[in-house]
Amino acid sequence: MPVLRGDSHLYEVWSTGERARSGQRSRVRFRRTEEMLFGCITLAETDVDSDGIPPASALEAATAQIYGEICATLDAEGYPHLVRVWNYLPDINRDCQGTERYRLFNAARQHGLNAFGRALAGSVPAASALGAVSDSPMVVYFLAARTAPMFIENPRQVSAFHYPPQYGSHRPVFSRAALLSLGDRRTLFISGTASIVGHESLHVGDCAAQTRETLANIEALLEEANRVARDAHFDRSTLAYKVYVRRLADLAVVHHELASALGPDAQIIYLQADICRQDLLVEIEATGICPLTRGVLTPDVRC
């Protein structure tokens, strides 16, 4: 995905004060501490082994295979709780076999998780799904834990796993946020968030209004996280953000809205990407830590 502001040689680094060890199972490469595992898997649709996999399309086969290998890795390594997942697939909005590729991805993700007895609603990870450039491989990276997180929904929105059938025969499998508590450390993972209230997209065609509505949804999630974790005090000014902008021409508008709301010192990565719904122009995800102490997993941006 093209980086839209700052140095294009940009890396997202997750660090911890605890000792970490590397490993690999099948295509899944990971690094783990005693409590957490951070993994990544990459698979091109042209390289997928479709033998014995029910989905017909290469995208569905790749998705089912990726999630199968993720689940197998977590079972083998002993990290049962999938906390946060980032999904990047090329041409997410393109039509394929008479439906959108994102809907095919949702169906195959359900098949892959269900095959390992994973929940498809309720206790499901925070997640994002964005469109990468054409001919890219599918890339999924994820965080898992030995301790069960608390999954948080947005009071302003219908849970994604309860969307009505108009959004596809298989609902997206993700929670709006996940709160991981380890000792006195609280880490909040906010899923990809957009201008959706209830289950409907709002402010179609108006990028500034969509950005403000997205921030309102993030604020609602922060309030809900602070409510359910009574010793937490998450604040949007201290979050680390990743912002996906569909149209390059909208970057200045999005940047202005975020600077006005968050201030000039907010930690933000801007990327150009397609959003899971074609009428959405911007999507924002975020991570926050409360309090920040040695040993907690923390995001950073480095060039």
Active site residues: 283
CB neighbours of 149 closer than 8 A, spacing ≥ 6?
Answer: 81, 83, 178, 179, 180, 181
Please say whether the beta carbons of 255 and 5 come within 8 A: yes
Helices 101-114 & 58-77 angle (0-180, nearest 10):
30
The whole-angstrom separation of Cα 243 and Cα 258 is 10
The whole-angstrom separation of Cα 245 and Cα 250 is 7
- Classified as helix, coil or strand, 16 is coil
The whole-angstrom separation of Cα 137 and Cα 284 is 22
Structure tokens at 20: 């970490």
154, amino acid identity: N
**How far apart are the two ends of the chain, measured CA to CA in Å?**
16
β-sheet bridge partners, residue 184: none
